[in-house]
Amino acid sequence: MRVLKLWRYPANWAIFRLDDRLLLILMAIIVGNCSGLASVILNRSLLAMSEWLYHFRSHWWVFVLPAVGAALSSLFLEKVVKEGAGHGVPEVIYSVSRYGGLLRFRSSFSRLISSCLTIGSGGSAGPEAPVVISGAAIGSNIAKYFSLNDRQRVTLVGCGAAGAISSIFNAPIAGMVFAIEVIVGEWKSVNIVPIAIAAVAGTEISRILQGNQIPFSHHLFKFDLLNVFACIGLAVLSAAASILLTRTLRSMHTLSHKLSGPLWLRAAIGGCAVGIIGLFLPVVLGEGYQTVEALIGGRYSQGLAFVALASFAKIAATALTLGWGGSGGIFAPCLVIGSLVGVTYHHFLSLLWSSALWANEGYYALLGMAGLISGMLQAPLTGIFLIIEITGGYEVILPLIVVSAVTTTLCHYIEPASYYLKDLVEHGHLLRPGTDARVLSDLNVPELIERDCIIVKQNMLLRDFVHIVQKSHRNYFPVEDDKTGNFLGIIHWDDIRPYLFNPVMYDAVFLGQIMNTHVEVVHPDDDLLEVLRKMDIKGLFSMPVVMNNRFVGLISKATILDRYRKELMVQTSH
Amino acid sequence: MKLTINEVAQCLRLPVTTVDRWIRQGRIPIQKSSNGYIVNESALEKWAAMYRLPFSLPKKVNTQTQAVRLENLLPAMNRGGVIYGIKGDDVETVLRGAVEKMRLPLGTSKEKLYQCLLEREHLTSTGIGKGVAIPHPHDPLPDTFEKPVITTGFLEKPIDFYAIDDRLVFVMFILLSPSIKFHLHLLSRLSFCVRDNAFVEFLKTCPDSSAYFSKIADFEKQLDRADNS
């Protein structure tokens, strides 16, 4: 019985009296291992799925396969686990912003199954985002089980994401940087250390189970300064491709939402369209890692027009899969599109200026991948480290940095928020730690209410009121109805100043006559951002808080400043 | 010493809800377990210093909030006593006569006190009307007096005190206090009494001290009632 109780409340274990950092590192190892395992499982099941479906490839009706897969995945998400489609990364960022990284347990497996159905059947999507969300959900639920607080939970969510990315790409630094740059958004040692440990754990698990292999190994490139300059053109091109992909994804999403009909039917329509494209251009199907490998290795012998067409087709197929309700991420499609764009650019350059000594097409494919990842995620560091690690190509670091930086800047110029963050920013849900929006969303009206106001009655004479003024500390006096106790209005010191020194008025004026009835009031549930906006517009310094017609207290800018500063100090400084 | 969450909130001068939220968000080094909070006071102090938040234990807060209760008129008047028949024809001689007769704490320089009172008189007269004057030094005398003292002095004959209503002054309340706060408090109470015409008429009869003090006690009661209502 005692043992049972011990397992029921693990927060009571002595280990939790340990140092906070040490505890997080221990947890990070567990989380990293679990999320690494999840990504290995997805990887294996995708392989098994494609092997199993290989026999059907020769049939004429093969184009319905993606439709069936997408429809099944949509049905599974909607009916069985009751979760939304899409790639899930914004969901993780949203929960980190608003709910301290609280995620449902079922998220840790739901996306694995649905994306396996979508991608395995040929849909154009990536397995990374589903792995990220399940890793994050594993981290969150482990934190919940051990009753950790929000900050620790957010770190563990980051650990889960880091472990997942590290494991699926065999790329520990990329996993770490992705988790910090995109998911957590806070470069602090309290976060970085556990996330790094989780990345190591995730990578190690994948290496033990699948061997230490670099996903897209390549030959050594030879390139000179000319190619470094040429890559600026590639950056522009990949920025254009990123914008195109973002825009098509969003327009497909809105288009599919205009259609009435069940979700699974929409997903099936999208999948069917992908299947038809796939009949002519099989390159667009699935996560496309073989394609990337062929492009980097220079084994892709098609001409300029075909590669350019393939890039567009892949963009369309990705938009059709994800926008119409399939499940999966944009990481892998980005890699495929990027390498296609890079090879297109290389063909274009050699056509334009065949005498120059261009580096081979693998070099440009690699840079294109970095460009697309940086452009879509608007996370240059993730792009740089991911490409270096998955290709093992440290010698291209210089042009890689140039492409990543230029693409990110260009994309940021046209689309201020990245694909992941766009919806969140539009709805005001992106709350990075230490920002104004975060502080204001953490503080709430009930915490700021000042209750030491003296409430007066409507039928009180000014003479009695003068005595009350003598005793009060405040300039505001709320007025209540005699019988009902409802809030009627407020008297400010300024309202009575003209009458206060005229004793003749003392017995002639009732408070109901001088009170201000047209006052802006605040409800305790109001958003502080909204309250402050009201104050700014009307030039107010205090507002009464009223709930169910009853006066609760006063909220003032002075108190807000005090609390805001304390909150900011606690959130940021060290 | 074990601190409760309420006490922690008091130390930080924040509402309990904020402290509760900080614990949930992991911003404050307090852990929540199934049987309550685990508060480590020294860790908490260190944390507050690191984030430069004000943090002081509730004991100190209590002593600060316990305001010194201001003394009323009667004890001060008892200490100062009543003087009858002060001689003189002008402000200077009257004040000097009053100071000479006053019971003062040991070591007080009567000359210095007289100079202080006279200096104040030169700024503007302390004759507040109806034949009453309230001489007092311009600045409080915290070194000389630990507690406020009011000496009531009846003049032998009314003199011209340059009072605001030009009436001749027949009674003085010499008000000596250790701080401005006491001074204003007593001045406000005293002026309440003097506002009553019957009281001024009563003073004109040069009443003996016991009758006078009982009258003051009545006023005090009225004032207290008004304060508490």
3 state SS for A105-166: CCHHHHHHHHHHHHHHCCCCCECHHHHHHHHHHHHHHHHHHCCCCHHHHHHHHHHHHHHHHH
- The last residue of one of the domains, among B65, B87, B104, is B65
Averaged over A70-98, what is the pLDDT?
A: 81
Chain A neighbors of B24, CB-CB under 8 A: 100, 149-150
> Is residue A171 located within the same domain as residue A248?
no
Residues A169 and A278 in one domain: no
Mark whether A399 and A531 lie in a shared domain.
no
B65 and chain A: CB distance < 8 Å anywhere?
Answer: no
Q: Is B161 in the same domain as B213?
A: yes
A11 and B52 in contact by Cβ < 8 A? Answer: no
Question: Distance, in angstroms, between A563 CA and closest chain B CA?
Answer: 8
Where among A181, A210, A239 does a domain terminate?
Answer: A210
Contact A315, A251 (CB under 8 A): no
Q: How high is the pLDDT of residue B61?
A: 44
Distances (CA, A) of B39 to A419, A533, B11: 43, 38, 13
Which pLDDT value is given to residue A239?
Answer: 92
The overall average pLDDT reported for chain A is 84
Closest CA to A389 of A359, A417, A416, A369: A369
Give the model's confidence band at A14: pLDDT under 50 very low, under 70 low, under 90 confident, else very high: low
Asked if B104 and B136 sit in the same domain, the reply is yes
Q: What is the pLDDT of residues A388-404, one digit of tens each?
A: 888 877 778 888 898 99
Instruction: Judge contact between A512 and A488, C-beta under 8 A.
Output: yes
Q: Is pLDDT at A30 greater than 90 in this prediction? A: yes
Looking at B65, B88, B105, the residue that finishes a domain is B65
pTM for this prediction: 0.79
Residues B59 and B80 in one domain: no
- B55 in reach of chain A (CB within 8 A): no
Specify whether A344 is located in the same domain as A418.
yes
Closest-CA residue of A relative to B55 is A566
Looking at the structure, do residues B57 and B91 belong to the same domain, yes or no? Answer: no
Distance CA A345, CA A297 (A): 16
Same domain, A71 and A110: yes
Residue B62's pLDDT is what? 47
Picking from A231, A260, A254, the residue whose alpha carbon sits closest to that of residue A398 is: A231
Same-domain pairing of B95 and B170 = yes
Interacting residues of A413 by C-beta distance below 8 A, sequence separation 6+? none
| Chain A residue whose CA is closest to B20 | A447
- The total number of structural domains in chain A stands at 3
> Any CB–CB contact under 8 A between B21 and chain A?
yes
Widest CA span in chain A:
102
ipTM of the complex: 0.80
Per CB-CB distance under 8 Å, the chain B contacts of A150 are 24-26
- Does residue B58 share a domain with residue B148? no
B106 and B86 in a common domain: yes
Smallest CA–CA distance, residue A475 to chain B, in Å, is 20
Provide the pLDDT confidence category of residue A16 given band limits of 50, 70 and 90: low
Of B24, B50, B51, the CB nearest to A150: B24
Give the helix ranges, DSSP H, for B73-204.
73-80, 91-101, 110-123, 180-195, 197-204
A435, part of any domain: no
The verdict on B79 and B32 lying in the same domain is no
Q: What angle is formed at CA A192 by the lines to CA A186 and CA A197, rounded to 5 degrees?
A: 150
Across the interface, whether the CB atoms of B25 and A100 are under 8 A apart is answered yes
* A93 and A27 fall within a common domain: yes
Q: What is the pLDDT of residue A9?
A: 66
Which amino acid, A295?
A: L
Any CB–CB contact under 8 A between B40 and chain A? no
Domain-embedded: residue A219: no
Residues A98 and A136 both lie in one domain = yes
pLDDT given at position B63: 46
Which of B51, B55, B227 best tests the A interface by mutation, with the highest count of A CBs <10 A?
Answer: B51
Q: How many domains does chain B have?
A: 2
Which pLDDT does position A13 carry in this prediction? Answer: 67
Judge if A70 and A171 occupy the same domain: yes
Interface mutation target, options B13, B23, B27, B52, chain A, most CBs of A under 10 Å: B27
pLDDT in tens, A195-206: 999 999 999 999
Domain membership flag for residue A218: no
Report yes or no on A45 lying in a domain. Answer: yes
Residue in chain B closest to A562 (alpha carbons) equals: B14
- pLDDT given for residue A110 in this prediction: 86
- Owning domain of residue B175: 73-228
Task: For A165-194, give the DSSP string.
Answer: HHHHHT-HHHHHHHIIIIII----HHHHHH
Which of residues A87 and B206 earns the better pLDDT score? B206
In a domain, A384, yes or no: yes
For chain B, percent of residues with pLDDT exceeding 90: 0
Confidence at B208, pLDDT banded by 50, 70, 90? confident
> What pLDDT does residue A482 have?
82
The three-class DSSP label of residue A565 is: helix
pLDDT digits (tens, 9 = 90+) for A496-530: 887 778 777 787 788 888 888 888 889 988 889 88
- A54/A267 Cα distance (integer angstroms): 22
| Residue B26 sits in the same domain as residue B110 | no
Quickly state the pLDDT bin for B91 (edges 50, 70, 90).
confident
* B53 pLDDT higher than 70: yes
A403 & A461 share domain: no
Among chain A, residues having any CB pair with chain B shorter than 8 Å are 9, 11-12, 16-17, 20, 100, 147-152, 442, 446-447, 467, 563, 566, 569-571, 573-574
B110 in the same domain as B93: yes
**Is A251 contained in some domain?**
yes
**Highest-confidence segment of A69-73, A338-342, B12-16, B188-192:** A338-342
Which of A20, A152, A447 to mutate against chain B (most B CBs within 10 Å)? A447
Please, which pLDDT band fits residue A419 given cuts at 50, 70 and 90? confident
Specify the CATH number for the domain of residue A196: 1.10.3080.10
On whether both A198 and A302 belong to a single domain, the answer is no
Q: Of A400, A429, A458, at which residue does a domain stop?
A: A429
In a domain? residue A252? yes
A570–B226 CB contact, under 8 Å: no
Residues A265 and A353 occupy one common structural domain: yes
Q: Residue B27: which of A11, A151, A574 has the nearest Cβ?
A: A151
Q: Which residue of B has its CA nearest to A17?
A: B31
Residue B25 with chain A: CB contacts under 8 Å: 100, 149-151, 442
pLDDT at B65 > cutoff 50: no
Rounded to the nearest angstrom, the minimum Cα separation between A179 and chain B is: 20
Say yes or no: B98 and B40 in one domain.
no
Write out pLDDT tens, residues B157-173: 888 888 888 888 888 88
* Same domain assignment for residues B44 and B106: no
Q: What is the mean pLDDT of residues A36-44?
A: 90
CB neighbour list of residue A107: distance below 8 Å, 6 or more residues apart: A83, A88, A91, A133, A134, A136, A137
Give the CATH number of the domain where residue B148 resides: 3.40.930.10
Last residue within a domain, chosen from A177, A210, A243: A210
| Distance between CA atoms of residues B24 and A418, nearest Å | 30
In this structure, the answer to whether residues A235 and A349 fall within a common structural domain is yes
Q: Contacts of residue B49 in chain A, CB cutoff 8 Å?
A: none
Q: Evaluate if residue A298 carries a pLDDT over 90.
A: no
Domain hosting A469: range is 440-572
Out of A16, A446, A563, closest to residue B31 by CB? A16
